[in-house]
Amino acid sequence: MKAPVLVLFVCISLAAVAAMAHGGEEHVMGTVTKVTADSITVKTTAKEPVTVGVVPATKFMMGKMAMKIDGLKVGDRVVIHATEPKEGTLVADTVDFSTPKVAPAPAGHAATTAKSPKTATSN
C-alpha cells in the first residue's frame, strides 16, 4: 500500500516541478490563421481558434534566428509561450515559428516540364 502512494506522490511532485519550470506560461501550438500588428490567431492542435496578443517585448524566433512579426505568415506553424495577465487574455512572451514544409509529389506523378511545340518545316 505504501509503494503506490509513494509513486503517486513522486509523480505529482515531478508534475509540479515541470509546471514551475515554465514559469506559469500557457502554450499555444498550431497553425497561424491571422496576423495583425497586435495579435496572432492560431488554429490549435485541438482545432480551436485562439487569439494571443502581441506587445513590443514579444520575441519572435524562427529556429535560432531572431525575427520580427512581419516574418510570420498565415499557414506558419507556431508555438507561443504566453502569459495571462488578466483572466481570458493571453499575451505572447515568445513566438517560435516555422514555415510549412512542401509535401513531395506522389510517386508516379513527377513534375513535368513544358515542351515547346514542334514547328513544321518544309524542304
Instruction: Please tell me the predicted confidence (pLDDT) of residue 8.
Output: 40
60 — pLDDT class (breaks 50, 70, 90):
very high
DSSP for 74-96, please give it: TT-EEEEEEEEEETTEEEEEEEE
In the chain, % of residues over pLDDT 70: 64
Instruction: Please tell me the predicted confidence (pLDDT) of residue 66.
Output: 95
List pLDDT tens digits, range 5-52: 434 443 343 344 344 335 688 999 999 999 999 999 999 999 999 999
1 — pLDDT class (breaks 50, 70, 90):
low
Q: Which CATH fold would you assign to the domain 25-98?
A: OB fold (Dihydrolipoamide Acetyltransferase, E2P) (2.40.50)
Q: Is the pLDDT of residue 111 over 60?
A: no
Instruction: Please tell me the predicted confidence (pLDDT) of residue 101.
Output: 76
67, 58 contact by CB (below 8 A): no
CA torsion through residues 30, 34, 35, 36, sign? negative
pLDDT, mean over the chain: 79
* Domain residue limits, the chain: 25-98
Instruction: Please tell me the predicted confidence (pLDDT) of residue 18.
Output: 40
